[in-house]
A and B are shown apart, each in its own frame.
Chain A
């Protein structure tokens, strides 16, 4: 082992890692696309966090049906976005709905990543039979049209937030596994891995502390894209009537409930659609900005 390759060994000090992460967020300034994405995401995160202070009404309370946007309510507050057919304030429902989506989407993505990373590390690092089996399983799951898979799984196990997380984990962890496996195949022959093996570190320690941190770049970009896609999935399931059970606000479900009246009351369907599209756009722009920056250096 040469001294040069020794100096390339990553410093896995925790504090240094956090400092680097903060610095790389600062790097985002160089990409206006990434900045726009980050601000959209930040906007919705803030809305979700401060939901009780932004929304004046209970999102499930029936107050005054079919109020046009801007109507004053008898309580002295304005329905800025109007109310739906059940008399619920649309602004409050959209604001509280952001909590739903920003809770389940990251949760499902995280769960899919945990499974996908563990499978990918095993397949890439151990190779052989483990790799063959895991790769075949993921090939089969990936060959299924995603939404057909979701519909069958949700229709059989029932629609609930937890089941949506399970279905998304099942359908998207194979894709993550493939990416991780490819990265591991490239990284496992590096000198620092050989050094760790020589030191006698366990396989799990090598996988999680030597290989995984060095594969983080492409994974972070992919996670952003996938978050956007998971939000689409949750929205589509809600729209098809397979999402979170009513009455709690869910953007896709709101579109489903009000679309029959879109001819007369288009704002009821338009506002939730704008909300979900802007959040997804935020994640996709952020991913594009991050990719641009990671390609630069």
Chain B
């Protein structure tokens, strides 16, 4: 167990270092075009560019620059945002908090919904209910987030006029503004988790001990709740943790659409404005969150599954 933890942790650190190298090469070296042109624009003169390069230390060797950059990063100095004219950290943290709120409500609704639907359809494979839920899941995952945002806006904002169309939270936090973004994210995501839960449940239902439990005369409800669910819910745990990775992509679209001041909108802004320091910080945060949740998923799975835990 300790060895596994160490291994997973080692891989996590390794991934982050590799990603940081790739990021650095993409954004800060001449590999994909001159960074000075990217920051100062196409119309900057050569002297201006040279001055900028000198000031920012771009004339030093790449390896030295990378080491410095990594050192700053590790000690919490994320650099200065060009667009926001201030330390990246001060821009980033409130945005992350906003996205955490969005993510929390998305998961709070998506997890129970997808588990219930998945278990219901996995209980009796091939039944009418099962087919219905699975086609419904395919339907909802086929609609991209921006399209469902358009459909929901047309219905709830322009049609019924129940909900506000933007979620910029200008006049303080308002729960009403959170409903549409959460709805869009849940609708797009739940189908996949429900499908994985269904597969896991269906597999458990064909196992020997469920047959034994049914044959010894246990009430069907008890077979499901006491015997089947415990094992059927191990796999969905991993899937749900991995869903955090998908959510990071989803929030970009949803926050952009609803003008929500979150992390996803920030990363898009940073890349469109060539705000290199901000983009690097955002990308590293995204990778830390993604790889961190994968590590938790792996460790959690080992912990929940006794066949792996004790071997």
Residue numbers of A with Cβ under 8 A of B are: 33, 139-140, 143-148, 151-153, 155-157, 228, 232, 235-236, 239-241, 252, 255, 259, 262-263, 266, 269-270, 273-274, 276-277, 280-281, 284-285, 288
Closest to B151 in A: A273
**B209 close to chain A: CB less than 8 A:** no
**B214 close to chain A: CB less than 8 A:** no
Contact in complex: A241, B272 (CB < 8 Å): yes
**B311 close to chain A: CB less than 8 A:** no
Q: What distance in Å separates the Cβ of B298 from its nearest Cβ neighbour in chain A?
A: 11
In the complex, chain A residues whose CB is within 8 Å of the CB of B294: 143
**Binary contact readout B130-162 vs A (1 if CB under 8 angstroms, 0 otherwise):** 000011001101111111001101100110000
Specify which of A270, A274, A284 is in contact with B138 (CB 8 Å cutoff).
A284
Contact in complex: B146, A144 (CB < 8 Å): no
Q: Given A239-B146, A266-B158, A273-B151: A285 and B138 within 8 A (CB)?
A: yes
In the complex, chain A residues whose CB is within 8 Å of the CB of B119: none
Contact in complex: A236, B15 (CB < 8 Å): no
Question: Which 7 A-B pairs rank lowest in CB-CB distance, beginning with the nearest?
Answer: A147-B249, A155-B271, A145-B248, A273-B147, A281-B142, A156-B32, A280-B142
Specify which of A148, A239, A252 is in contact with B267 (CB 8 Å cutoff).
A148
**B111 close to chain A: CB less than 8 A:** no
**B3 close to chain A: CB less than 8 A:** no
Contact in complex: A262, B267 (CB < 8 Å): no
In the complex, chain B residues whose CB is within 8 Å of the CB of A236: 144-146, 253
In the complex, chain A residues whose CB is within 8 Å of the CB of B135: 33, 285, 288
Specify which of A146, A148, A232, A285 is in contact with B144 (CB 8 Å cutoff).
A232
Specify which of B11, B151, B165, B252 is in contact with A139 (CB 8 Å cutoff).
B11
Q: What distance in Å separates the Cβ of B142 from its nearest Cβ neighbour in chain A?
A: 4
In the complex, chain B residues whose CB is within 8 Å of the CB of A288: 134-135, 138
Given A151-B271, A236-B144, A276-B147, 9 extra CB contacts under 8 A: A139-B11, A143-B287, A144-B290, A152-B26, A240-B256, A262-B150, A273-B147, A281-B139, A285-B135
- The interface on chain B, measured as residues whose beta carbon lies within 8 A of the other chain's beta carbons, has a size of 49
Q: What distance in Å separates the Cβ of A198 from its nearest Cβ neighbour in chain B?
A: 37
Closest to A277 in B: B143
Report the bound CA distance from A235 to B23 in whole Å: 25
Contact in complex: A145, B290 (CB < 8 Å): yes
Contact in complex: A148, B145 (CB < 8 Å): no
Could you pull out 15 A-B pairs where Cβ atoms are within 8 angstroms? A146-B249, A148-B267, A151-B252, A156-B26, A235-B146, A236-B144, A239-B256, A240-B256, A263-B158, A266-B158, A270-B151, A273-B147, A284-B138, A284-B141, A285-B135
Contact in complex: B165, A263 (CB < 8 Å): yes
In the complex, chain A residues whose CB is within 8 Å of the CB of B245: 143, 145
**B18 close to chain A: CB less than 8 A:** yes
Contact in complex: A277, B147 (CB < 8 Å): yes
* Number of residue pairs spanning A and B whose beta carbons lie under 8 angstroms apart: 124
Select the residue from B135, B144, B271, B279 with max chain A CB neighbours within 10 A. B144
**B27 close to chain A: CB less than 8 A:** yes
**B291 close to chain A: CB less than 8 A:** yes
Report the bound CA distance from A153 to B274 in whole Å: 12
Contact in complex: B138, A145 (CB < 8 Å): no
Contact in complex: B272, A270 (CB < 8 Å): no
Contact in complex: A157, B32 (CB < 8 Å): yes
Q: What distance in Å separates the Cβ of A84 from its nearest Cβ neighbour in chain B?
A: 14
Q: What distance in Å separates the Cβ of B25 from its nearest Cβ neighbour in chain A?
A: 10
Contact in complex: A240, B252 (CB < 8 Å): yes
In the complex, chain A residues whose CB is within 8 Å of the CB of B100: none
In the complex, chain A residues whose CB is within 8 Å of the CB of B153: 262
Contact in complex: B248, A148 (CB < 8 Å): yes
Report the bound CA distance from A33 to B132 in whole Å: 11
**B286 close to chain A: CB less than 8 A:** yes
Q: What distance in Å separates the Cβ of B260 from its nearest Cβ neighbour in chain A?
A: 14
In the complex, chain B residues whose CB is within 8 Å of the CB of A140: 15, 18-19
In the complex, chain A residues whose CB is within 8 Å of the CB of B158: 262-263, 266
**B229 close to chain A: CB less than 8 A:** no
Q: What distance in Å separates the Cβ of A36 from its nearest Cβ neighbour in chain B?
A: 9
Report the bound CA distance from A155 to B252 in whole Å: 15
Contact in complex: A284, B142 (CB < 8 Å): yes
Q: What distance in Å separates the Cβ of A264 from its nearest Cβ neighbour in chain B?
A: 9
**B268 close to chain A: CB less than 8 A:** yes
Q: Given A140-B15, A240-B252, A285-B138: A277 and B144 within 8 A (CB)?
A: yes
In the complex, chain B residues whose CB is within 8 Å of the CB of A33: 135, 138
Report the bound CA distance from A266 to B246 in whole Å: 29
